[in-house]
Chain A
């Protein structure tokens, strides 16, 4: 939740929402031998722009080098190393955990009270817990649940945003062809 030095770097890229763009990004990582810890992608409030968030290991990769390579992709509109400035970051996990006896049930509910979680499905055998927090806190919570019995787990990967008036945006509007159509596909298409 701050600009404190960490071993990870977070890079956010705005990309044109065109077919094949995610392919271009991951192909770049593979051919440059860039390993990423997590990659998330989703549309922004502008239908023609999607935002990719990457987490990389700072010890193995120079974020500037990574950003320069990303920016070489024609469809990448803007790249920022978010972790170099004040920012907020969140990771979300859905965790299915055993609650088939009183002890496990109580442990899960107690733990959930101490973390930013919601129990979104509670049954007699299993519960699904949602946690939304910084990645380190999500890790910590998962470690606490492990002895109780995690059955299934899914994480979104980290998303991040600069604090305050630091805005990552683009003025760009998509091309309109002679026939009045444009290059944006009206569905999620990275």
Chain B
């Protein structure tokens, strides 16, 4: 069958199982948009800014575990994708980005809307392609989806010159997918016997073991294995931010989140442990604090799919490069049946101390707290919604006050910390999981970075519920200024639009909440709307996210919230 490059591209996307693409047309990608009419089974969502497209593809991928697809034109269209690609790269999210490029003959001439997109995106993609003939497209697309979704997932970009999209080439349906020839790309499998034995030996001898579970648990589908491992060997589990959902947070062995704004008990446990078992996490600086004083008395096992992560930040005793689920299944039969009552008692003491400091139990003020909003949202949605947070104080409050029981229900930009991620990613997540309740929990700062997607939500009638925690401040920056810059609130107060009127302008129903008593009604209202809906929660600007490990500080030296009666 003789098809144009654009048609071949879309044929391949269908065969890769793509259902929806998020994109924005323009000159150099027009042949592909024109061909879309022939493939109505490929849904295209028109965004309002290409950054939104890349975050939507990302949210779709995180919620579904499948590859998200975004599409943009050359030059500015492609450069607008970059933030979303970098976000996906840092959090290991499989997306395929397709960009138009100027025609082959014009490449390198500074043609209109020309940018060296493979050059620009090289450091923020797992791999990228500049396709120089239509005949290459099936190979490139199949490789791109394979690379994006396998091993340590990540974004892959395919740059296609306009005249390659119109060039005709033979496409044989029966030959798709083509055989992969990727000699330099091998996906790690399991652990060796020696590695397993060394790891089991450490587990058998440990008195104060601790599991650090990360995003990899979800990506390798090892949720069941994690629970089995923890329960059999009686090992408590702490989660990274992106690891939330790896283990139900109401499980007695699950201690919740570690790190800069993690639970104090988790951080103390890390520092006191005699064995850390790091599973699919990468010892990010936000979870380790000062590396020199990090978990000083522990032996360390690190199971990780990316070999370059092993011994990168933290030197480990046993590094196992492999697929997490495979390795954990290998480990389970050899695990000792153990409990660690003394260790658990110690952890319970730390947890008790933390609960004495809990603001929700002793706050009597008038003003609304972000913590109250998130906690009530958790209660009113039975802890069962998919929440997509942005970046800042509200993100940490979401992580602290919305315990998740299921994997792939807490989506957030962890590694890159991309403000503006939350709302478009929530739209993507809703496309992936149309039957689930999806809440975008955003701050007033981040929301304004990508709020143009309100029009996308309206046009597609995406039933995403937007909760804006509006404190008229860049809250997390304000918190740093309060602690570390002598309360000089430079460029953090915000004069905001009336978010409810803004929603109205987009034809989106809305409600404003200023008191805790109103939360229940507002959430009920949001749940009753079949379409996008916006709730603005006006919260106190003075709220602080505790505990806090100041950047680079020792993990155990947290700034804690004072107990009632204690002075700051």
Residue numbers of A with Cβ under 8 A of B are 15-16, 19-20, 23-24, 27, 31, 62, 64-65, 68-69, 71-78, 170-175, 177-179, 181, 183
Contacts and interface: CB of A to CB of B under 8 A. Distances in A.
Contacts of B183: 16, 77, 170-172
B353 interface: no
A71 B127 CA distance: 13
A23 B118 CA distance: 10
B226 to A, nearest CB: 25
B311 A73 contact: no
Contact of A183 (B118, B123, B136, B184): B136
B377 to A, nearest CB: 39
B139 A175 contact: yes
Interface stretch (B170-178, B330-338, B358-366, B513-521): B170-178
Interface in B83-141: 118-119, 122-123, 126-127, 130, 133, 135-136, 138-139
Given A69-B308, A72-B306, A75-B184, A178 B172 contact: yes
Given A74-B127, A76-B184, A174-B181, A179 B308 contact: no
- Give the top 7 A-B pairs by smallest Cβ distance, nearest first: A172-B183, A68-B308, A177-B135, A68-B307, A179-B135, A77-B184, A77-B183
Contacts of B182: 74
Contacts of A178: 135, 138, 169-172, 175
Nearest to B138: A178
Given A72-B306, A75-B184, A170-B183, A179 B133 contact: yes
26 contacts: A23-B122, A27-B122, A27-B123, A31-B123, A65-B311, A68-B307, A68-B308, A68-B310, A69-B308, A71-B184, A72-B308, A74-B127, A74-B147, A74-B184, A75-B184, A76-B184, A77-B184, A78-B184, A172-B181, A173-B181, A175-B181, A178-B135, A178-B170, A178-B172, A179-B133, A181-B135
A177 B184 contact: no
Contacts of A64: 311
Nearest to A69: B308
A15 to B, nearest CB: 8
Contacts of A181: 133, 135
Given A20-B118, A177-B139, A71 B307 contact: yes
A105 B185 CA distance: 55
Nearest to A24: B122
Contacts of B185: 74
A16 B169 CA distance: 25
A65 B123 contact: no
A27 B118 CA distance: 12
Contact of A177 (B119, B133, B312): B133
A47 B372 CA distance: 65
A16 B170 contact: no
B280 to A, nearest CB: 17
B184 A16 contact: yes
A183 B310 CA distance: 33
Q: Which of A31, A68, A76, A170 has the most CB of B within 10 A?
A: A68
Q: Which of B133, B183, B185 has the most CB of A within 10 A?
A: B183
Nearest to B312: A65
Contacts of B122: 23-24, 27
Given A178-B169, A179-B133, 11 more contacts: A19-B130, A31-B123, A74-B182, A75-B184, A77-B184, A78-B184, A175-B181, A178-B170, A178-B171, A181-B133, A183-B139
Interface in B309-351: 310-312
A4 B511 CA distance: 74
Contacts of B123: 27, 31
Contacts of A173: 181
B11 to A, nearest CB: 13
Contacts of B118: 20
A87 to B, nearest CB: 22
A127 to B, nearest CB: 41
A61 B172 CA distance: 48
Nearest to B156: A74
A67 to B, nearest CB: 9
Nearest to A171: B183
Interface in B171-226: 171-172, 175, 178, 181-185
A23 B125 CA distance: 14
Nearest to B118: A20
Contacts of A68: 307-308, 310
Q: Which of B119, B139, B184, B311 has the most CB of A within 10 A?
A: B184
B186 to A, nearest CB: 9
A168 to B, nearest CB: 13
B175 to A, nearest CB: 7
A109 B178 CA distance: 61
Contacts of A31: 123
A69 B184 CA distance: 12
Contacts of B170: 178-179
Contacts of A77: 183-184
A182 to B, nearest CB: 10
A73 B139 contact: no
Interface in B132-157: 133, 135-136, 138-139, 147
B139 A65 contact: no
A15 B185 CA distance: 12
Contacts of A171: 183
B567 to A, nearest CB: 44
A80 to B, nearest CB: 13
A68 B182 CA distance: 17
B291 to A, nearest CB: 15
Contacts of B119: 23
A173 to B, nearest CB: 8
A122 to B, nearest CB: 43
B308 A65 contact: yes
A75 B128 CA distance: 11
Contacts of B139: 175, 177, 183
Q: Which of A16, A31, A178, A181 has the most CB of B within 10 A?
A: A178
A179 B169 contact: yes
A72 to B, nearest CB: 6
B85 to A, nearest CB: 14
A15 B172 CA distance: 30
Interface string B462-501: 0000000000000000000000000000000000000000
